[in-house]
Amino acid sequence: MSPRRIGRRFATLVAGVATVLSLGLANPAPAAAEGVNAVVCYNTSQAGPYAGIADQAAGIWNAYTNNVDMAKCGSNLMIYYTYGGGSYAVRYSLGNGYVVIDVYQAQQYAPLRIMTHEIGHILGLPDNYNGQCHLLMSGGSAGTGCTNPYPYTTEAAQVDRNFGGFGAQGSQVFQDSWPAPVTVG
């Protein structure tokens, strides 16, 4: 038998197993799912014009992480907005706290990037003001032209580690603002 035929046969076998598995998991028990993932309930009742942005940001975090689910099921995370003073996050403990979006800042910087960044703090991520746009936690240091709202692989993996092991880092109280642009000289 040629290697190519073996490969094809193996692919067929894998496909068959996958079908059986997916059939078997068609109706997983809700309790089992909750046991795997932490749920961060967020509340947009005070988010004003940023409620939809918060929903988008929650969807991004859900898509990029495995160990945490964001859902509108309570008030672990409140979303607020204000005029001036900067956007920021206050984390009481991992997955608990609030985010404040500065309307003026959100007119300068991409609001979705600000939102996913600040929620990143609630999920246990620190700032990394290195100016690199592919990182979410570089925040405002990447400039107003950076609109990337997605966590980088390493950032998403850190959130999964935070929620996978309920690590000490994430449970520390945290407060910080959206970083100002880097000044040279």
Binding residues (CB under 5 A) for Zn ion: these are: 127, 139, 176
- Alpha-carbon distance 58 to 54, whole Å? 6
Shortest reach from residue 167's CB to Zn ion, in Å: 19
Q: How far is the CB of 121 from Zn ion (least distance, A)?
A: 6
Q: Is there a catalytic annotation at residue 155?
A: no
Closest alpha carbon to 178 in 145, 150, 136, 148: 136
Closest CA to 159 of 175, 168, 170: 170
Q: Minimal CB distance to Zn ion: which residue? A: 127
Task: Please provide residue 13's backbone torsions phi and psi, each rounded to the nearest 5 degrees.
Answer: -65, -45
Catalytic residue of the set 118, 123, 124, 151: 118
Minimum gap (Å) between residue 137 Cβ and Zn ion:
6
148, 117 Cβ separation under 8 angstroms: no
Residues serving a catalytic function are 118
